[in-house]
Structure 1
Amino acid sequence: MIIYFYIYLIFISVLLLVFNDSKIGDFFVTSHDEYRYYVLSNYVMADSKSLGWLYIFQNYYDYSQSLHFGYYMYLGFVRNFINDNLGLWYVFQTTIFFLANLYFSKFICLEFKLPEKDSYYLSILMIFYLPLFYLTFSLMRDVSIFFLISISLYLYKKEKFYLMGFFMLVLITYRMNACLGIVVYVIFDLILSRKIQFKSLVYAFLFVFFVSLYILNNYFDKFMERIYSLDYLSVLFESFRFMFSPIPWQVDAYIPFYLYIWYYISFFACIFGVFLYMLFFSYNKNNILFSKSLVAMILFNVFAYSTEVGVGFRQTAVLSPFLFVPVFISVIKRVKI
């Protein structure tokens, strides 16, 4: 754990030295989406000073153009707080990145009953998960979403439900599908572990009901149009696309070379890893890490994204660790046996 902390200190020290004189907006590392976040958070920054935060929250849709207003408010607040210092913004993002990796690793070890020391090794390895590392140095919300999902699941496993509820409330303002995916995970986990209680079902039902009611009351036409126009075969296609995308020879030209190399190697590694995983699973599934609850959560997210624009690069970057980390841990442990 000390090594992990030292790595974090080295990261933020270098970032402050290199980027302390730069400003947010000097350059962007992702596509036009990042520029959109920049522009909309500019409005939040300006109006928070002249009109106040209460006005902004009352008229959140004018700033976010979606239900997911939370991150725009957070981005505007932090940019005001650090005076648009790029070095400090990278410190914020890197801190979230390291915390996300830590809580993700702890959750995985709790989920699959692995030794606690494995979470430390996995935390260090997750630093080299380049898609999320790349998104850390942007204005995008994906690193924060990964953190909120990971800590919510970790708190659930530790039975700290009030804290979990707090982080889920934050997450629902960042990405509603991700929050509902956690609800799906919890319901499946309670049913499969036979720990489910009537009270738990009521809470889960009320949560989904009020969220759905809010969507339907405000965006009924848009919601129903998506459902009616959905080709359910596309859900199957999106599932395969999620598992093996982006195909390295079809990646966007704007990504850096190191990320292209990552996708080129990981594409074939994932195919080979899934093949070995399925082979070992068919031979002896008791020695394989498999969670029906996690699969249900991932499939829910894939289905939800299928009603929109499909599973893209950023969505894959957030969800892939929950699928492929258990796969590769299973393969490594099985090969060692």
Structure 2
Amino acid sequence: MPFSLETIVHRLLLLDYDGLLYPGEPKQRDTSWMPWLVEALRPWSDVRIVLHSTGIYSSALPDRSHLSEMAPRLTGSTYGLSHKDALEAALRVNKQRVDHHLMVIAHSTVLPEGRFNVLVCDAELGLSAPKTQAALSAWLWRTRPPLRNVFGARLTKGVGEHVLYLDFDGVLHHEDVRWSLKRGPFLNAPGHSLFEHAALLEDLLKPYPQVHIVLSTTWARVFSCYGAAKRLPPGLRDRVVGATWHSAMPEQAFKDKPRGTQVLEDVRRRRPANWLALDDTDEGWPLDAREHVLITDEQMGISAPGMAERISAYLQRMHLL
């Protein structure tokens, strides 16, 4: 049987051998893009790999040092099959065993639409292409299994990860937001619009798929976390894992706390690996938390001169930790 998967795993990668892990030309076979993949997968013990090639190989995997590093993850091969047949085989197994799958191929081919999760990369660049690396990294973070404690209980989202605490008013738009039963929220600031800077934040976060968002805005208390998050563009909305406010809290006691206290209580509860807060309110932030906070201009928000650069610099430091 050309395809086998003996262990139950969370995620499966089906990878083209030629043009993805190694250049397609035989004379270039001493070049390998496997080291990048080894490092990219190191934090994710649940990911398993099936190697594919339309060429005809022996059933034994090629004897290469980096493949030996990947040996614990290798669960099968689909050598000699067409892309379609290989993906069909993987899909049949995925339906029973795997939570998420991604087929990374180096040559575009005709596949049934809507049936496969496929990433097509440049056959000359393979896994060395920054665009391919970013797409694969984003998939790894997006599909990661939920963290659980030693007793198997699901942990609060964001535990041990990078978190951005996000205010709306004075950050993503002008701070002068009014509320009306008929109109809902609206700005009392001519020339400005709600969420006018959301696209800028979305662009700043694109290189960092591992950063999650916790809403620290009053909008989460008024509309719920879900109701507030759905007003964001998809690139931000999909990152939201919670809010500093939730309905089980005594509302008045929460409202009476300054913003810094609200966020720091969530930090103690959520225990992120690192965090950054974007807020226009300079209240309740103790000195030892100041390095994690960027105070924005109430009118210009994150569009104020130099603020985007400060956010990018912090995200880069967070990424390196």
Provide TM-score, normalisation by structure 1: 0.26
Provide TM-score, normalisation by structure 2: 0.27
Q: Which entry has the higher C-alpha Rg, 1 or 2?
A: 2
The answer to which structure has the higher strand fraction is: 2
The answer to which structure has the higher helix fraction is: 1
